[in-house]
Structure 1
Amino acid sequence: MFSLILLSALSLVALMVASDSPDAFNRLQTPLLLVNTVSFLVLFILVVVSGRKLVRDYKKSKLGAKLRLRMTLAFGGLAVVPAVVVFVFATNFMNKGIDVWFDAEVEQGLSNALTLGRTALDEQIQQGLFKTTNMALTLTGTDQLDKRLNELRNNSLALELLVLNNELQVIGASTKSLGNLGSRLPSKAEMNQAITKQSWASLDSSVEGEYLIRVLVPILGFSSNETPLYLHSLFSVDPNLSKMADSVEETYARYGRLTFLKIPLQYSYIFTLALVVMLALLLAIYGSIEFAERLVKPIESLEKSTRSVAAGEDAVQIPKAGEDEISLLVSSFMHAQKEAAWSDVARRMAHEINNPLTPIQLSAERIRNRYLSKLGKEDQAFLSSSTNTIIHQVEVLRDMVNAFGEFAKDPQLKFERFDFNQLLMESVDLFEEEKNVKYFTILLDEGITFVEGDVKRVRQILNNVFKNAIDATKDCS
């Protein structure tokens, strides 16, 4: 798809560059337009297939189809309206611009310039004919003909003078350049025209690109019993006049070709512009469909996962759709839903665990109150320590259960001063009856034993430390 778009863009750029030259435009127009037409058809097929799928999903009320269709229509509408406006105004301006190129006044001006140039050249031809005719009248015989021709050539500024007979044989000659002597002899037809009309003149171009005037007239001064002779002259045209005449002639010919191509050129430009606009529209529509598809895809994944969970599937994973806001919103929603579910489970479990704690604590208090006065001092101390440990541990367990019920919320710390040595001994008493515990070695600091902290959290830490120590030394000898 990307290669197709890149190929179309390159061909359109090449077509735009070729439009600067009509000849290049006509030469490259067909293959480039063919490439763009193929791209247009492929893109059109893709848009039609995607559009049919979108309409089919909409008719089936598939989740996200309405949003995709609405976004496609919105983006397509935003692309169509400016494109149509640009196409209409661009077509209008282009037609007016082409009409200005072929304005009647421009054509008339070029025609006048061409006529003026031709008139100037005709004037040069007439001057050459006049000079040649006068020179022919001064020739009365063949005596010292070459010397006479040299004088006439120098006075008339001619490039070459030749005296010819009916067989185009050179009788006498005078030239400015010996290398070109006789290189431009008249033909038999030109000779016959000179005999019929008593003169012949022509405008030719040289190898250097300059114009040359050739004139052929009969020499009437010779006696009637002699063979008819003719004077052939060669004159150069002013170089500036030659260049200007060529420029006007070339411009007029080019303008004529452009005039012939006016209608095809208009249609070609309009078709190219329409093709560019249609490609842009199809790209915008196809892009809006793909964008809407990617935007709605996380929502569809969420809907499928929700149905799977409702059907009893626990191990449901939502694939990561991307890093955009919609994907993050879906991920946040799923995370919040999971947190809410676990929070509800935690509250229910905390409620169920918390129910038997109160009877345990009350039972320990009843045992202590009932049997404490009936025992000896040593047993009283043991019973009091044991029941206090039970009561304290129940309180710790209740705090843990309440914290679990809060789910992921740390319980607030309650700082107070307490006797750390006493708390340590209570924790030791809790584990000294363990069958795997042989003995505890306790070293207490008899100095400052009161510290400030959360008694319940410190008690929990000590219990964990002793429990871990006992578990770590079970298999030791």
Structure 2
Amino acid sequence: PDLPSSAQLRQARQSRSVSTVDSHPDGRLVIRVVVPIPTRSILSEPQLLQLTQPVPDTFSRHAEAVQEAYRDYQQLTLGRDGLKRIYSLTLTLTLLLALLTAMAVAFVLARRLAAPLLILAEGTQAVAQGDYRPRQALPARDELGVLTQSFNQMVRQLEDARAAADRNRAAVEAARAYLESVLANLSTGVLAFAGNGTLRAANRGAMDILADDLAGFEEIALADWVHHEVFRDALLEGFATHESDWHEQIEIPSPDSTPLTLLVHGSRLPESTGGGLVVVFDDITRLVDAQRTAAWAEVARRLAHEIKNPLTPIQLSAERLALKLADQLDDNGKAMLERATRTIVNQVEAMKNLVNAFRDYARLPAPELVALDLAALMREVLHLYESAAVRIRLQVGEDLPKVLGDASQIRQIIHNMLQNAQDAVLGKDDAEITLLARADGDRVLLVCRDNGPGFPAEILARAFEPYFTTKS
């Protein structure tokens, strides 16, 4: 008989019995039972009993069918796990592929749907940076396409508006620059005040007339000015007593204490333009002096005419009396008549000379301009003052050019200046008079300088009025 395998023997010793169904080489099934046989001695070898019994053919066929089915089941069991893994892997790959496909489709759709929004976003950023070029128009007719077209239309309108604003700003800047240039080159002073009275603008003419750069005047109201009090009070009074425009002629002191005559024009700006005040003023001191001189000339002309009319009859009458009465008087009477007649004639001549002086002031004769050597003319005049009590020094610049002038009038001017200088230093121990001439650009400057008391500041404005003098 077939011996059991070592594994069956080991199992029989351990579990007391082993029952198996084995296949015989001839194809039959054999039931094998192996049990241990107890022994009386511990030292004796363990013994096993094996029983083999062939299985009937009917049972064999059924057992083989069962075993075959069991093997098929085992194979199916093993294949099921693989199929499950294959199915799981396939399903996972399918799901991943579907997910990727969905994401790709969603990305494409999102790009197509978001393209107009991206264009609008880029356009918005470009507009914020000042780029008003239209964006790419979409051919779509949906809401986003219409929105993009509307955005491009808005951008074009903004570009047109900006271009118009730039043109207007350039025009305004040009007008402002032109106005500032005009104001800067005006000799007339212009001051602009805000509604609260603070200074907003002042041109160069105003600073020159007031002899002040007006720094810091922008922070204080007109009523709080601590300088130019006369000018300030005149402006405040003018705006307080007039509702709109007003004109006034005022006199203010200059830095050298000589009065300045100003013609001031004040005006209120309309409230629609922000309100405020504008003051325009001009220094008319020279004009007033010229008017005063013209008035004196007219007075002199009329006075000369009125005085000269009776002088000639008086002179003729005196001469006629002398002629008629000379033969009727004795020698003493004749001598007295001649003296009286000569006195009348001389005084009439003096009066005529005075009248002629008035006439010459009213109508100065035209000068005869010739090329003069001013230095030689000055030396010629100084020869007449060699015996004067005060020594007169002559200073003539080098290369003094010749001048065009009337010799007699210039000679009279030098005489007048020297005589005034002598009167000014009369009685001074350290009296000094200097007559100098020097080139001054394209002119020649003639100066008579002395160390006398000078002119008081308050009379400088009247120094050149006819017959004005401080002499007693």
TM-score range, shorter chain: under 0.3
TM-score, normalised with respect to structure 1: 0.23
TM-score, normalised with respect to structure 2: 0.23
| Greater length-normalized contact order (CA 8 Å, ≥ 6 residues apart) | 1
User: Which is richer in helix?
Assistant: 1
The structure with more radius of gyration? 2
